[in-house]
Amino acid sequence: MSGSRSAKDFFRPLAVGAPSPLTEIPARPSRAIHFFDPSNPKMAAKVPDLVSTVDVLLGNLEDAVKADNKLAAREGLVQIAQDTDFGPTQLWTRINSLDSPWVLDDLTTLVPAIGHKLDVIMVPKVQGAEDIHYVDRLLAQLEAKADLERPILVHAILETARGVANVEEICGASPRMQGISLGPADLAADRRMKTTRVGGGHPGYLVRQDPNPDQPAAVRQTYQQDLWHYTIARMVDACAMHGIYPYYGPFGDIADVTACEDQFRNAFLLGCVGTWSLHPKQIEIANRVFSPSVEDIAHARRVVAAMGDGTGAVMLDGKMEDDASLKQCLVMVELAEQLAAIDPALKAQYDAIEVPSE
């Protein structure tokens, strides 16, 4: 990539005294990234009760926070972070866009005050690697000044056509890159898509059954398609290539829990590790959908046990299982182990699985 750092320099700190970058992003469960407005007293009061019920709590400073409330949101997040023991729950924030008048104050306030508690900073409307490079250098300088011992990771949101076109270089722009989320609303506007929905499908985006030659006027079945399939798949590939994590973003129709679950599951099956939660009812959906089912883990463990050293092939229930099958199953088993470490109820379900001897 033109203008990129050499391989030997990539994992060196960008400021004297800054913590060394990570060479591998930790696989920490993040099924639901629950957004809250730190300037809203009612939301802020609920944060302690949400700890341990959700993998990630994110203090939102950007969209949904009015201009008049930007300072209150920033100061509110500092207060919440200082007063709260988050335990296994991660603390993230979404800063304002890089072209806004608030973002510099976001970073210069948060890193010195609560950088030791912040796990990830989410950067909106990332257009290319240059946006990540800017944040990367600034964070290194602020970390050094604050004597932080670990680097704060960065998460980008795909919200523009240019960002999607540059997704591979965004993923590889910095060792801080933790993952990428789909931002369907802003992306739809930037692409000039003809939908006003925040995520999810659209009844007009469909395929139709061929006509019956004997009854050409008969009603023909239609099948709604996924507007976001291409973008999510491309994002997943880019993230996998660089060893970081892909996420679905917001699902705006809070009342339609069925469609929300469907969208979350589509993303999970395609390779996403989590999603955003805009309302507490979406936390339960995300936690369930982005956790492998007991049936899937039972099958995966059975294949792992039957494959032994991982070579050759075996027949289970009339289906061939080989080394490729084993790799697929290990993805599920490893995820189950990570989730069981933080979710006692899920651990009990997984521990109850009995693997029959073949």
The response to whether 94 counts as a known ligand-binding position is yes
What is the rounded distance in angstroms from the CA atom of residue 45 to the CA atom of residue 323? 50
Token pair 């290990």: residue: 330
CB-hemisphere CA count at 13 Å for 290? Answer: 31
Asked if residue 186 belongs to a known ligand binding site, the reply is: yes
261 has binding-site annotation: no
Handedness of CA 39, 42, 43, 45 (dihedral sign): positive
Helix ranges restricted to H, the chain: 41-50, 70-83, 103-114, 129-145, 161-165, 167-171, 184-191, 229-242, 257-270, 280-289, 294-307, 323-340, 344-351
Q: Please give the radius of gyration of the chain, using alpha carbons only, rounded to the nearest integer.
A: 22
Measured from the Cβ of residue 36, the count of other Cβ atoms closer than 10 Å reads: 23
Query: What is the C-alpha separation between 168 and 240, in angstroms, rounded?
Result: 10
Q: How far apart are the first and last CA of the chain?
A: 50
Which residues are part of a known binding site? 94, 159, 186
Which parts are annotated binding residues for substrate?
A: 94, 159
Binding-site entries for Mg(2+): 159, 186
